[in-house]
Structure 1
Amino acid sequence: MNNTIKESDAKTKNHVNDLKGLNQLAQEGILGVVDVVDSVHQSVLNLGGTLSQSKQTNGLTGFIYRSIRATTRLSYRTINFALSRFTPLLPDVLLTKRRDHWVAVLNGIIGDHLAATDNPLALEMTLVYQDQEISIQQAAILWSNPNVKPLLLIHGLCLNAQSWQQKDHNHGQALAKGGQYLPIYLNYNSGLAIADNGLKLAQLMFELNTLLAEQQKINVLAFSMGGLIVRSALQLAEKDKNLWPHRIEKLVFLGTPHQGALLEKTGHLMEYILKISPYSAPFVQLTQIRSQGIKDLRKGRIHDDGQSVRLPRHIKSYAIAGTAKDDKAPHKKMVGDGLVTVNSALGRHPKKSRHTGIPKKHQFTVFHVSHLGLLSSKEVYDHLEKIFVD
C-alpha cells in the first residue's frame, strides 16, 4: 500500500480569510482598549468612595466613548466588506509553516474567543499526515496497512503538528523508521477548554473506531496539554460506554501537567493581587486575556466538573517528566522543566484520588532538559524507543 498523499492535496487557502480574521481582532482590540480607558476614567471619578457598579462613564464623557466605539465598528465593517469583494479575484496560496506557527500560537492564547466569534483564524481539530491535512477516512485507510503500527501524536499549548519537528528530530518520524510506526498528527485549537477538545477527540476516535479492522490497535504519544485532552476524551468515552478506548494499546504522556502547570498558577495570583485595589481593578481585563485552555492548565482540569479519574487499566500508560536540573539538587528538581513539575508530569499527587494510575515502573525522569526540549531530547527518544519498539 502506498502511504503517501498526493501533491495536489497540499493545504491551500485564500489569504483574504487571514486578513479578515486579523481585521476582526484589530477591531476587538481597539474596543477593548477603549473599554479599559473608560473603566479607568470611571474609577478615577469614584475615588474616595466605593467603586461604582457601572464600568463605563455617563454624560458627555460617556457619549464620547460610545462615539469612539461606534466609529471603530463602522470602520472595520467597511474594511471587511472590501475584503469580501476582492476575495474571488485573488488566488489561493500555499500556506507556509511560519503562518501556521503564529496561527497556532494565537489560538493557544485566545482560541476560545476566536471560536466564539467565528473568526476565520480559529483552528478546527484535524488530522495531519506528511504535513498535509487528511480526513478520518484517509487515516483509517493508512492505518489499515497490516505492515504498519498506528501512532497518533498530539501536540501541546500554542503548538501544531509541525512543532514535533525540533532540531532536525521528530519523535514520530524516528519511531516510523525504527519500529514500523505510521505517525498521524492531531491539530487542534489549544485555546479551547480542555473538556471541549476532549469531546472533539472522543468524537473523532468514535468515528475512526468504526472504520478500522477489529484487531487494529492505536498507540498514542501526547505532549503537554495534549495528554490532558486524551484523558478528557477517555473519561467521556467511559461515561458514554464507548468502545474506542479498547483500541488504545500504549499511551505515553510527555511533560503533561496532570496536576497543573506553574505559569498559569502565577498568572492566577497576579489576577488576585490586581483585584485587591480599585485603582488596579480595570487592568485585570488585560491579565485575563488568555484562553480557557490555559486556565484549565492551572489544576490540570480535564472535565467541566473539575473531577479527575484514573486511566483505564487495560491501557499501558507511561509518563516522561523533564527537569532542568540534576538529581543532586532535589529542591530544584521539584521545579521540573520550567513549566511542569516532575510530580505533575508523572501524575503523582498527595491525594490517592488524584493519582493517574500510571505504574511507577512506567514513570521516567529526564534531566537537564526544558519543556520544549523534551521534543528533541535523545534521552527522551531512547525511552520512547524502549516503550514502543522493544
Structure 2
Amino acid sequence: MPSPSPSNLPVPHDTAGPLARRGEPDLTRQQELRALGDLGAFGLELVTDRVEELHHAISRRSFDATGPVSDPIRAVHDAVSAAVYGSVRFATGTAARGVAAAVARFTPDDAEPLTETPAGSVARSAINGLLGDLLEEEKSPLAIPMAVRLAGRDVPPTRTLLAEAYPRATPRIVVLIHGLGENEGVWWWRARKAGLGPVIPMSERLHRELGFTAVHVRYNTGLRISENGARLATLLNALTDAWPVDVSEVALVGHSMGGLVARAALRAGDLGGHPWVERVEHIVGLGTPHHGAPLEKGVNLASYALRSVPEAAPIASVLDTRSVGIKDLAFGVIAEEHWRDRDGGALLADYREAITLPDHVTLHAISATLATDPRHAISTAFGDILVRLDSASGDHRKHGLGIKDEHRATIGGLTHFDLPSDPQVYRLVRDWLR
C-alpha cells in the first residue's frame, strides 16, 4: 500500500495555520522533467558501462587463453569496442536528455509537479534512498533537502513563518523522522484499516493528549546518516530558536533509519553545543536498525563474492551504486569517524566504537515481529522483515546501547511498515513521553 501524498495528508486542525494550505512546491514540472532526463541518461550509461565490463571480462579470458599471439587482434578489438560503447553512451545519454528537454519545453508553466502526486512523491523519496548521494553530488533538483514539512510544503525555520504555520504551537515539540526511502507520509501509512475506520495520526494524538506540537522532517535518505544527523541538528537549532513560544522539551521519534538519524543529530548537537540538546529527554526508535539490517549485510556479501569472478563483477558494480545511506545500514553507523578513510567495500567490516547519549536523555526502542509470539523461531530469524529483533532492541555483545527493559518493547504480529501508525505503538510512545 503506497503512502499518501504529502499534499493530501491530514493536517492536525488544532496546530496548523494558513501556511499549511498555501505555498509554492519546491520543484516545477519542467525542472522535474529535465532532472528525470539526466537520471535516465545516468541509467542508460550505467547499463552500457556494465555491458562493456562484461564484454571485456569475457574477451579477456579468451585472449589470455591464446597468449601473446592474439595481442594484435586484442588491440584492434579493444579499440573498436571502446569506440562502439563510447558512441552508445553518448547517443543514449543525449537522447534521454533531449527528449526530456523537448517535453519540458512544451509543458505548461502551471502544470502540477509530478512529485506532488501520490506516486510521484513516493517515487522521489525512493529514488533519494537509492541514489540520493549521487543526486546531491550532481546538484539534481530531485535531491530532497532537509526541511520541516507541513501539508506537502517546506516550512523555513523563521519566526514569522513558523508562527504562521503553527499558530497554536506549544512549548513541547516532538520531531517525527521517517526512514530510508520514505517521507513524512509514513506517519499516515496504513492509517485507515479495513473495518476499523480512520486511525488518528500519532502527531494529532500526541497534541491532544500530551500537548506536544508535532514537527515532521523530510530529508535525503541516500546521504550518510552522520551527515543527515548534522543537518538535522542545525535545523533543530534554528527551529527551537525561532519557535513561536519558548521551548521546554524536545522529543525525537524516528522510524527505521530515522532513529539512527535522531541519535546522530543529538550527538552532533551535543558536540556543537546546541541549546536544544539540553531540552531533549527522550528518543524513541521504531524498528530502528541500531546494529544493522540483514538485507544490507547480504548485499555487501553478494557484492564481495561477485567481484571474485571477472564475468560477475559488472553485477557487483550495479549493486555498489546503492547510496552511502543504505551502506551505513549494514551496522547502523551514525558517526563520521566510523566510516571516514575506511574501505567501504570491505566484507562485513564493523568499524564502530561505543557512542553514549548524554545522561539526561533516555533511549527507547520498539521492535516488531512477524509472528504474534516474539519468541517464535520466525520472529527470531526475520524480525519485522527488514530489521531483526536484537538490532531493533539495541542488544549487541560489544556495542549494546544499555536500554533498560522498561524502555523497550516488542509487538508481535506487525511488519516494519506497520510501526509508525499502529495504535499499540502510539500508546507506548505516549506513556514514555508523559
What per-residue deviation string (whole Å, max 9, x for no partner) do you get for residues 81-124 of structure 1?
5456556x521526223221111111111111111112221111
Match of 2:358 among 303, 312, 320: 312
Q: Which amino acid aligns with 2:432?
A: I
Match of 1:43 among 34, 57, 60: 57
Match of 2:88 among 50, 68, 74: 68
Match of 1:102 among 123, 127, 130: 123
Partners of 1:233 and 1:41 in 2: CA distance: 46
SS of alignment partner, residue 337 of structure 1: coil
Aligned residues with identical type, % of pairs: 29
- Aligned residue in 1 for 2:30: 16
What per-residue deviation string (whole Å, max 9, x for no partner) do you get for residues 116-145 of structure 1?
112221111111124432111234776795
Contact 2:131/2:323 (CA < 8 Å) preserved in 1? yes
Q: Which amino acid aligns with 1:283?
A: I
Query: How far 1:232 moved relative to its partner?
Result: 1.2
2:432 matches 1:387: yes
Query: How far 1:211 moved relative to its partner?
Result: 2.6
Contact 2:294/2:330 (CA < 8 Å) preserved in 1? yes
What per-residue deviation string (whole Å, max 9, x for no partner) do you get for residues 22-76 of structure 1?
11111111111111111111111111549xxx9xx72122211112222234334
Match of 1:284 among 286, 292, 316: 316
2:210 matches 1:167: no
Match of 2:397 among 341, 344, 350: 350
Partners of 1:228 and 1:328 in 2: CA distance: 25
Alignment of 1:132-171 (within 5 A): 132-137=153-158, 138-139=161-162, 147=170, 149-168=172-191, 169=199, 170-171=201-202
SS of alignment partner, residue 22 of structure 2: helix
- Aligned residue in 1 for 2:251: 219
- Aligned residue in 1 for 2:6: none
Q: Which amino acid aligns with 1:362?
A: H
Partners of 1:77 and 1:22 in 2: CA distance: 8
Partners of 1:136 and 1:194 in 2: CA distance: 22
2:353 matches 1:339: no
SS of alignment partner, residue 251 of structure 2: strand
Partners of 2:313 and 2:332 in 1: CA distance: 27
> Is the deviation greater in 262-271 or in 94-103?
94-103
SS of alignment partner, residue 37 of structure 2: helix
Contact 1:198/1:233 (CA < 8 Å) preserved in 2? yes
What per-residue deviation string (whole Å, max 9, x for no partner) do you get for residues 287-338 of structure 1?
2231111110000011222244112211132111111121442573353211
Partners of 1:316 and 1:140 in 2: CA distance: 30
RMSD (Å), alpha carbons: 2.5
SS of alignment partner, residue 391 of structure 2: helix
Decide whether aligned partners of structure 1 residues 308 and 105 sit closer, same or farther in structure 2, where only a CA change above 3 A counts. Answer: farther
- Aligned residue in 2 for 1:210: 241
> Is the deviation greater in 76-85 or in 293-302?
76-85
Partners of 2:207 and 2:15 in 1: CA distance: 15
Decide whether aligned partners of structure 1 residues 237 and 181 sit closer, same or farther in structure 2, where only a CA change above 3 A counts. Answer: closer
Segments of structure 2 that go 5 or more residues without pairing to the other structure are: 1-13, 66-73, 192-198, 339-352
> Is the deviation greater in 234-243 or in 317-326?
234-243
Query: How far 1:147 moved relative to its partner?
Result: 4.7
Partners of 2:375 and 2:57 in 1: CA distance: 52
- Aligned residue in 1 for 2:230: 199
Aligned residues: 381
Q: Which amino acid aligns with 1:314?
A: H
Decide whether aligned partners of structure 1 residues 124 and 327 sit closer, same or farther in structure 2, where only a CA change above 3 A counts. Answer: closer
Segments of structure 1 that go 5 or more residues without pairing to the other structure are: none
2:299 matches 1:299: no
> Is the deviation greater in 363-372 or in 144-153?
144-153
Contact 2:17/2:166 (CA < 8 Å) preserved in 1? no
- Aligned residue in 1 for 2:412: 367
SS of alignment partner, residue 98 of structure 2: helix
Match of 1:261 among 265, 276, 293: 293
SS of alignment partner, residue 318 of structure 1: strand
Contact 1:320/1:366 (CA < 8 Å) preserved in 2? yes
Decide whether aligned partners of structure 1 residues 144 and 78 sit closer, same or farther in structure 2, where only a CA change above 3 A counts. Answer: closer
Partners of 1:148 and 1:327 in 2: CA distance: 38
Query: How far 1:172 moved relative to its partner?
Result: 1.8
Q: Which amino acid aligns with 2:109?
A: L
- Aligned residue in 1 for 2:343: none
Partners of 2:126 and 2:165 in 1: CA distance: 29
SS of alignment partner, residue 276 of structure 1: coil
- Aligned residue in 2 for 1:33: 47
Contact 2:145/2:219 (CA < 8 Å) preserved in 1? yes
Partners of 1:308 and 1:107 in 2: CA distance: 29
Match of 2:133 among 87, 91, 112: 112
> Is the deviation greater in 27-36 or in 321-330?
321-330
Partners of 2:15 and 2:80 in 1: CA distance: 70
Contact 2:145/2:218 (CA < 8 Å) preserved in 1? yes
For normalisation by structure 1, the TM-score amounts to 0.89
- Aligned residue in 2 for 1:321: 367
Partners of 1:30 and 1:47 in 2: CA distance: 26
